[in-house]
Structure 1
Amino acid sequence: MRLLPAARGFNGAVLFPTMTFAIFFVVVLGVSWRLSDRPLQWRLFVLAASYVFYGWWDARFCLLLAGSTIANHLVVQLVSRARTDRSARAAMVLGIVVNLVVLGFFKYYGFFVDSLLQVLEPLGLAPTALLIKVGLPVGISFFTFCAISYVVDVYRQDQEPIPFLDFAVYLSFFPHLVAGPIVRVSEFEPQLRRRRNRDSVDAVRAARLICRGMFKKVVIANYLATAIVDPVFASPGQSPNGELVAAAVAYAVQIYADFSGYTDMAIGIAMLMGIRFPDNFDQPYSATSIQDFWRRWHMTLSRWLRDYVYIPLGGNRGGERAESRNLVLTMAIGGLWHGANWTFVIWGFYHGFGLVLERKWRERPPRPWRRGAIDIRDPDAPEERGPDDGSTRVMARPEVARREPNVWLSRLAVFAFVTVGWVFFRAVDLPTAIDYLTGIVTRWGVGDLVTPLVLLTIGAGMVGQFVPRQLGDALEYRASKLPPAVLGVGVGLFLVIANLLGPVGVAPFIYFAF
């Protein structure tokens, strides 16, 4: 029975086989609670278990994680002990540069070298000696961003330095190490200092999160990937627009089910160990604006970009033009963070300009009413004399002229905007994305891959965006009243059913690549 999909790196190596992880977690959970009243031993054990988890894919990258831990701890000591703000700022900048250089080398070296070669090859100047193969450590973006936030928070005096062992546990804690959520020291470290009590663990909620995450990943995300998304995106030029539209919508559902499914399981697993993570998703496809979408999608990354990129760039200070520039740059950086490909950069700019245009549209001044139009406004609104013909016109009140659009139309428009962006996110390169979007308006037809089961699965994934939270909380409350043995059997049966409903083989989580 599957308990957690295996993760794969770019070289195809398995990060942690499924059944091995099940055994690993059962052992870790049991020993963890046995050591709950011995804080030092608990920290050392969890640290060792996290390194075993990370090193299962490639033990050499444990050296990278350890090096990042030591380097950032030393930088934080320099920042906190600096006698002047200038020296503290210099230490902070040093820490950020070191983190970004390491991240840039492993994640973006090949991207920048390939881009350079494409420019120089026509000139006969391509330095092929620059081409070396660099393996991408799983989760490097996540633990690097965690480290940067710690360094900056200490410099801002929003966070006191924490002991080295606590920081090592924080940075390597296996439930969030490889794909988030991006947990900050201020959210994690205080929990290490509190005494953990097994009776205070919300096991029912943890089971609900793990089961929900499994269903999203194994049943919804994996099926859509194999049934329509992967074959259509592999050769979009051979698909009619019916398949292209369905595959784009299916990918929107897939990436949500995949990533939020992992997050649910990560939060549930951490909860069983007595650690609470912040929420990372809040029904994003029910958003009524692009801004609202980013308040609901990958919320820990959105907050990170706001606090450590957008605000340092100037935020909304400096006028409307500066605010728009900072917003676009922030989203472009967020796009590049997702991967070393121009498609991610375009995706970031796409959302950045979308946010800017949406803000301008929502803040537009009221439009004066034209003469001859049907008057549907407040009859008590004041009259104003026309410009030169002596006529009069009723001026609309601001609150009447700026009515909000229909909620469901707004949701549909935002979902369509986001789905078009996902095409760039999923395509292997920019020409493929352009060919995909061009085919939607030029190649008419339905296609064989648009089956009733595909449409039903897409619908199931979308329905979850609008289920009231109270319903899940009510079911959770009723489950908490069941005997533990009955609850355990129920969870086991659910996992078996999810396993049977999912396709053969378990695809890696999408965000393990980032």
Structure 2
Amino acid sequence: MLFPTLDFALFFVIVFLIAWELRRDMDARKLVLVLASYFFYGYWDPRFTLLLAGSSLLNYAAGRAIGGMNDGAMRKWVLGVAIALNLAVLAFFKYYGFFLDSLADMLVTLGIERDLPFLEVILPVGISFFTFQGISYLVDVYRRHVDASRSVLDIFLYISFFPQLVAGPIVRAAHFLPQLERTPHVNRRMASLAVVLILVGLFKKMVIANYLATEVVDNVFFDPTIYGGGDLLLGVYAYAVQIYCDFSAYSDIAIGVAALLGYRFPRNFDHPYRAASLQEFWRRWHISLSTWLRDYLYIPLGGSHGSTFKTYRNLFLTMFLGGIWHGAAWTFVFWGAFHGAMLGVERAVSRRWEAYAGNGNGYGGGVLGTLMGIGRAIQGSIGTVLGIVLTFHLVCFAWIFFRAPTFSSAWNYVIGLFDWSQPSQYASPFIVGMVALSLAAHFLPSNWAVGVGRMLQRASWIVLGLMLGFGILAIEAMAPEGVAPFIYFQF
């Protein structure tokens, strides 16, 4: 079931009315939301609901076991087994085919081809997201950041809650479970912000992302060898906008829908293309995943507290595994490895620059020291602009491998960027303007949506409802025909 469809609109209206009617009976309300979430998830394939229930039961039981133990070694052992089971399920569904294909290719290369036990494995929608939520819950219980929940209903709802079930944001148990213990409440400020987020999300997905996908991106990435450098450059810029609008749209709608039901989700995107460094980019892009990788992978590996080599190793491994999380293909492996390597290079260069230019230290008060001081003074202006431009193009280069179906296709795309002998086929004012305005929007104030919501909070509930309804109709009229699945459904 997709957000921008009539099916979801009818589904949500029914759930919304029943949930608020049961707001004084918390257990009944939570049960309705669990059943609604399983209906939502089973809409793709009812068989997947068994996997979702199994994941919830595993994490509930393991959480209770860890929370009830005082023996540190035993708690650690139970945590390790539970995480291993979570990852084993994820690995089977997501990487079984990739592993066997890679093994078969290697055996052919070595001249020892063998018949391998290939199975047709269907990837459950959103398995990476609810698996990571389960793991974060277990680790937080182990670290005593949150108490193990005694309510199996709460854990089922935490892992399956339909607004963020299939494409995030990844919500922490410490943030969500306490909300289930309170009577839900929605004021006009929350409702007005929810309306803004839902409409903005629908516009980003149905209009911007879908137009760029159908008019440019799908075509140039299908066979980059038949296009010139101009179209390929426009295509990668368009994809950068498409994937941002597509993925952030899901997060916006999820946050808005959850707010209308009385629950608060954390922000998942913060104008990532205004970042002046890759480190800043990852603080702004898919925040729930980047912080998950930081807290549950980078820091346990040692973070930046060890030697310089270990710090760079931890950065690389974190991004490398983040790339593998996104998909079972060598293109994703390269994408993660590239970001990991570039984060290391960026860290080394910034450390060297700070030592070299810091107050002209080591250069006395001479000309060189003065020049270093001037360089540091302009770092906040010209340096920031150059940093934004360089960071954006590094991200775009990596997006080529993220989007391309194969590594060879991605490499052909990169090579084609240097061939400008052909005239552009796609550089229409409409497409170029949509890309340019979408990128320019990243330099709006970070809290602009909150500001718009505050302007609307004096409106009555009827007016807010009418604005949402007419806004959806207007977006539907502007959008191209058809509704494409969200990109991150495949992860």
The TM-score by the shorter chain falls in which range?
Answer: over 0.9
Matches within 5 A, 1:188-203: 188-199=176-187, 202-203=190-191
Q: Structure 1 or 2: larger helix share?
A: 2
Match of 1:352 among 340, 351, 359: 340
CA distance in 2, matches of 1:3, 1:95: 31
- In structure 1, the residue matched to 2:286 is 298
Matches within 5 A, 1:244-393: 244-364=232-352, 382=364
Correspondence 1:440 to 2:428: no
CA distance in 2, matches of 1:366, 1:56: 54
Single out whichever of 30-39 and 435-444 deviates more from structure 2: 435-444
CA contact (8 A) 2:154 2:177 kept: yes
CA contact (8 A) 2:197 2:449 kept: no
CA distance in 1, matches of 2:447, 2:158: 32
Classify the secondary structure of the residue corresponding to 1:224.
Answer: helix
Letter in 2 for 1:332: F
CA contact (8 A) 1:206 1:272 kept: yes
CA distance in 2, matches of 1:3, 1:401: 51
What is the Cα deviation at residue 499 of structure 1? 1.0
What is the Cα deviation at residue 463 of structure 1? 2.1
Letter in 2 for 1:35: L
Encode CA deviations 1:195-220: one digit per residue, 9 max, x unaligned: 12344671111000000000000010
Encode CA deviations 1:362-410: one digit per residue, 9 max, x unaligned: 11057889xxxxxxx99xx8468xxxxxxxx764597556553522221
Identical residues among aligned pairs (%):
44
> Alpha carbons of 1:383 and 1:284: their partners in 2 closer, same or farther (altered >3 Å)?
closer
> Alpha carbons of 1:211 and 1:82: their partners in 2 closer, same or farther (altered >3 Å)?
same
Encode CA deviations 1:53-72: one digit per residue, 9 max, x unaligned: 11111111111011111111
What is the Cα deviation at residue 481 of structure 1? 2.5
Match of 1:460 among 428, 431, 437: 437
CA distance in 2, matches of 1:43, 1:470: 31
Letter in 2 for 1:147: G
CA contact (8 A) 1:221 1:254 kept: yes
- In structure 2, the residue matched to 1:212 is 200
Match of 2:102 among 99, 107, 115: 115
Matches within 5 A, 1:212-231: 212-231=200-219
CA distance in 2, matches of 1:426, 1:30: 40
CA distance in 2, matches of 1:445, 1:366: 44
Q: Which runs of 5+ in 2 are unaligned?
A: none
Classify the secondary structure of the residue corresponding to 2:352.
Answer: coil
CA distance in 2, matches of 1:253, 1:362: 28
- In structure 2, the residue matched to 1:160 is 147
Correspondence 1:19 to 2:9: no
Structure 1-normalised TM-score?
0.90
Match of 1:451 among 398, 409, 428: 428
CA contact (8 A) 2:276 2:387 kept: yes
CA distance in 2, matches of 1:484, 1:170: 28
Match of 2:170 among 170, 177, 182: 182
> Alpha carbons of 1:35 and 1:410: their partners in 2 closer, same or farther (altered >3 Å)?
same
What is the Cα deviation at residue 466 of structure 1? 1.0
Correspondence 1:140 to 2:127: yes
CA distance in 2, matches of 1:166, 1:453: 48
What is the Cα deviation at residue 333 of structure 1? 0.3
> Alpha carbons of 1:289 and 1:366: their partners in 2 closer, same or farther (altered >3 Å)?
closer
What is the Cα deviation at residue 443 of structure 1? 4.5
- In structure 2, the residue matched to 1:89 is 76
CA contact (8 A) 1:242 1:444 kept: no
CA distance in 2, matches of 1:472, 1:184: 23
CA distance in 1, matches of 2:2, 2:405: 30
CA distance in 2, matches of 1:349, 1:275: 36
Letter in 1 for 2:64: Q
- In structure 2, the residue matched to 1:481 is 458
CA distance in 1, matches of 2:471, 2:375: 52
Letter in 2 for 1:174: F
Encode CA deviations 1:69-108: one digit per residue, 9 max, x unaligned: 1111111222223341111111010011001100000000
CA distance in 2, matches of 1:454, 1:505: 19
Match of 2:384 among 380, 392, 407: 407
- In structure 2, the residue matched to 1:149 is 136
CA contact (8 A) 1:212 1:264 kept: yes
CA distance in 1, matches of 2:354, 2:400: 35
> Alpha carbons of 1:77 and 1:127: their partners in 2 closer, same or farther (altered >3 Å)?
farther
> Alpha carbons of 1:485 and 1:34: their partners in 2 closer, same or farther (altered >3 Å)?
closer
What is the Cα deviation at residue 124 of structure 1? 4.5
> Alpha carbons of 1:30 and 1:247: their partners in 2 closer, same or farther (altered >3 Å)?
same
Match of 2:29 among 42, 47, 53: 42
